[in-house]
A and B are shown apart, each in its own frame.
Chain A
Amino acid sequence: MLIDWFTVGAQVLNFLILVWLMKRFLYKPILHAIDAREKRIASELADADAKRAEAQKDREEFQHKNAEFDRQRAALLNKATDEANAERQRLLDEARLAAETLRAKRQDTLMREYLNLNDEITRRTHEEVFAIARKTLTDLAGASLEESMSEAFTCRLRALSKETKERLANALKTSSEPALVRSAFDLTPDLQAAIQNAINESFSADIDVHFETKSAIIGGIELIANGRKIAWSIEDYLTALQKDVGELLKAPSAPQDPPVSPLNVKAGPRQESGTESATPEEVK
């Protein structure tokens, strides 16, 4: 008999024990190890995926920030460039304005110096002219001239208007001091008597007259009584002429060759003074 039933039973038992042993020592640990490894690999893959996703996110964020930074930098650069251009333009304008102001001031100064020099030359010229005239007339003064002057004085005295005569007469009458007759040279007694007569006739009174010599009167005679004066002298003519010439010089002597500049158009002492002064035609 090939089948031994005790052996069969024993082998069944052995097999069941072997099943248990294999489960205990082989399948469970191996499957556990495989599962653990798979879990670990899965977790590592998930971790790697998460890291990759995070890296991708970081990368996108970085790119976004980079783009934003570039944009801001470009904006700032543009703004800075614009500001620099504006500042440069402003500085250039300021510098131009300053240069133009300086040039205008210099132009003005030059114009003033030119005018001052011109005025000085004119003043010196007419002073010299009058000095020469005075000198000439002084040199020419003499007896015959004194007579002529006395005659001219008496003629003028007589030719006074009635009102003027009355005012002078009152002045002579009310004056406590004698009337004063000044002349550049000593008058001869004849000439003094002639003048005395002329005064007496003119004012119809016996006027006490005191004669005085004053060299400052270039050529002429003057009567002073109680603050009033009647005179005829070359000095008067010259003074009047000098006054006229002075007024003429004060007038805005338009520069014969004024330097033309834009600033002169804006403002200038020349124009300002010109508005205050009269033209030579007005003086005439």
Chain B
Amino acid sequence: MRLSPDEIIFWQDGFLKLNATIVFTWGLMLVLAIGAKLITRRLSMDLNRSRWQNLLEIVVTGIVTQIEGVGLNQPQKYLGFLGTLFLFVASASLCTVIPGYEPPTGSLSTTVALALCVLVAVPMFGIEEQGVGNYLKSYIEPTFIMLPFNIISEISRTLALAVRLFGNMMSGAMIVGILLSITPFIFPVVMTLLGLLTGLVQAYIFFILAAVYIAAATRVRKPTTKPIAEL
């Protein structure tokens, strides 16, 4: 039983290898980039625009709206990172309808990579927004006793991000595989549709959690006023 597309290796030279995860990721990257390039090649600034442009505009403005909804005041600043997270995870899930396709997000390596990106991006955005000192100070608030718990929280939530996405995507693919072996064709199709829904939900969850983490890190804390009695 194959749990991850990492196991499908096309080429290997020592440490370097070219497995299905990387290949399908490249494929998705190509599709996304070329598709975006093709559609945005003839962008209309007018009121009349193509359906594809409409679709892309809906997607982009939807992402921007969601980022704003989380509480980030400058959504376009985070659009590149968060939007790409969503689009990559969502497109990886949607492409599961293609026969022979293995979603890269079904590999723990990919989800860990994405989670690591979030793990790095959160403090980067936080430091950029409120400075190194203020950001690091947030780990020892309200007291320095919270420092280990905060660090554990950072690690655990990154792990949770990675495992949640991997588990959902892997389970979806595995369920379809198992059902294909024991039931007729109709039921796996239904499960595949359900898997599409699950994948989109997971993409949204991944995206929104990353946004929430970034929002929490970039939130400028107001200076706490100590009670008069303590003075």
Contact = CB atoms under 8 A, between A and B. Distances in A.
A21 B26 CA distance: 12
Given A2-B108, A3-B109, A11 B43 contact: no
Interface in B73-93: 76, 79-81, 83-84, 87-88
Nearest to A15: B117
Contact of A27 (B33, B44, B60, B108): B60
Contacts of A19: 80-81, 84
Contact of A30 (B21, B57, B113): B57
Contact of B61 (A2, A22, A32, A34): A34
B29 interface: yes
Q: How large is the interface on B (under 10, 10 to 19, 20 to 34, 35 or more residues)?
A: 35 or more
A14 B25 contact: yes
Nearest to A19: B84
Contact of A22 (B4, B21, B32): B32
Contacts of B25: 10-11, 14
Nearest to A17: B29
A141 B6 CA distance: 193
A15 B43 contact: no
Task: Identify the interface centre among A11, A19, A36: most chain B CB within 10 Å of its CB.
Answer: A11
A33 B61 CA distance: 12
B33 A22 contact: yes
Interface string A33-67: 11011001100000000000000000000000000
Contacts of B3: 2
A33 B29 contact: no
Contacts of B195: none
A10 B45 contact: no
A15 B22 contact: no
A98 B116 CA distance: 122
A interface, size bucket: 20 to 34
Interface string B123-163: 00000000000000000000000000000000000000000
A8 B79 CA distance: 23
B2 to A, nearest CB: 11
A62 to B, nearest CB: 32
Contacts of A37: 45-47
B55 to A, nearest CB: 10
A12 interface: yes
A237 interface: no
A40 B48 CA distance: 13
Given A9-B113, A33-B57, A36-B45, A27 B83 contact: yes
B17 interface: yes
Interface string B90-112: 00000000000000100111101
B182 interface: no
A18 B29 contact: yes
A33 B43 contact: yes
Given A26-B40, A31-B76, A34-B61, A3 B108 contact: yes
Interface in B1-36: 3-4, 6, 15-17, 19, 21-22, 25-26, 28-29, 32-33, 36
Nearest to B162: A3
A7 B19 CA distance: 8
A4 B33 contact: no
Contacts of B113: 7-12, 15
Given A3-B109, A22-B36, 13 more contacts: A2-B4, A7-B6, A11-B113, A14-B29, A19-B81, A21-B29, A23-B84, A25-B40, A26-B40, A29-B40, A34-B60, A34-B61, A41-B47
11 contacts: A2-B4, A4-B107, A10-B22, A11-B113, A11-B114, A15-B88, A19-B84, A21-B29, A26-B36, A27-B80, A33-B43
Interface of A: 2-12, 14-19, 21-23, 25-27, 29-34, 36-37, 40-41
